[in-house]
Structure 1
Amino acid sequence: MDRPVQQCLVGFLKTRVATLDNPRDLGEALSGAKLGNYWKYRVGDWRIICDIQDRRIVVRVLRIGNRREVYR
């Protein structure tokens, strides 16, 4: 992943997700046995897969990847 993409994704997390009272107001829940507990944010062709911990309102990024590869 090149530097401009990294900056775009970090900027998205800082400006859009970190400012929310409830990080689930943005993005979508994943489904299925393997990814059912996680949340995704779409940023262009990239997906950010997160584990949202409600007690402390922590969004832990588990994986970032192109939409064709991130769910594998």
Structure 2
Amino acid sequence: MKFTVSLKKQAIKDLKAIPLSDRERLIERISGLENDLAGDVKKLTNHTPEYRLRSGNWRVLFEVEQNAIIIYRVVHRKEAYR
């Protein structure tokens, strides 16, 4: 299934604060979400946003609505589930 990926303002701000090498890897992984939810994607329980993508020590928190993926945050793993 093909998805449209969009980032909220906070997600863009989060990405700018991440070191360049990690940021490039994260952008590559986020781009991969357009094709399908493959990779290390997990549906979260009792948490909003509903999904997370794991990439090293970083977590991409997002929701899926129809054919769109909305990315809310890109945070370090120790801050992701607070």
Q: Counterparts of 1:2-21 in structure 2 under 5 Å? A: 2-14=19-31, 16-20=32-36
Q: Which of 42, 45, 54 does residue 28 from structure 1 map onto?
A: 42
Structure 1 segments of 4+ aligned residues over 2 angstroms from their partners: none
Question: Which has the bigger relative contact order, CA under 8 A and spacing at least 6?
Answer: 2
Identity %: 17
Deviation of the 1:44 alpha carbon = 0.9
Which blocks of at least 5 consecutive residues in structure 1 are unaligned?
Answer: none
Deviation, 1:11, is 0.6
TM-score (norm 2): 0.68
In structure 2, stretches of 5+ residues that fail to align are 1-17
Normalised TM-score (structure 1): 0.76
| Paired positions, count | 64
